[in-house]
Amino acid sequence: MKAKYFLPAVGLLFLVSCGGNNSNSTTSDTTQMAKDTSQMKTDNSNAGSDTAKVASTVSNDDLKFVTDAANAGMMEVALGKVAQQNSTSTDVKNFGAMMVTDHTKAGDDLSKIATTKHIMMPISLPQDDQNKVDDLSKKTGKDFDKAYMDAMVSGHKKVAGMFEDETKKGSDADIKAFASSTLPTINKHLDAAKKCEMMTKK
């Protein structure tokens, strides 16, 4: 799912045709003036919304990171909630709770940055990710624990790599700082996921 962002608002130039001092203006001139005035009102009414759609100056690579990070976070929260319901393991339940807490906070932090840069954040999971959540939601007990923790290890390895790349190659200072400050949490999650994964194999 690609991030959406807006093109720069184009400044509005109003051309108003005014008549001279001649009181005998023709009907066509009056009609044209009415059309011009009507158009001016229409354009002016749209000026506020257009001005709000300020284009982001963020690079495409940084925009992709924001979108991918937001999607990954939403998926971790969704699966974390499922883990707390479908798992029979206290450790897995606790891991799921950690996912909900930490990724909700990270998502809020990222959303604030996106707002200041006029970046449209995704509000729902891509269909492929939603299908994975739906599939895992059908499992319970040990079957769920194994499938969930396997997904958490592989998922966090991918996300850690993504965040690390952003810390090295990101061009936007704020987004790069977010990646740097969040990466230690991602690595902590990966370590915890590996431990839980080992427990599910016993």
- Encode pLDDT of 50-61 as tens digits: 323 334 588 999
Could you say which of 55, 71, 88 is where a domain stops?
55
Instruction: Say yes or no: 49 and 98 in one domain.
Output: no
pLDDT in tens, 17-60: 333 444 444 444 444 544 444 444 444 434 333 323 334 588 99
Instruction: Say yes or no: 142 and 42 in one domain.
Output: no
Could you say which of 55, 71, 86 is where a domain stops?
55
Considering the entire predicted model, what is its pTM?
0.71
Exposed/middle/buried for residue 123 (C-beta within 10 Å: 0-12, 13-18, 19+): exposed
Instruction: Say yes or no: 108 and 15 in one domain.
Output: no
Q: What angle do CA 180, 184, 186 make, to 5 degrees?
A: 105
Instruction: Say yes or no: 95 and 183 in one domain.
Output: yes
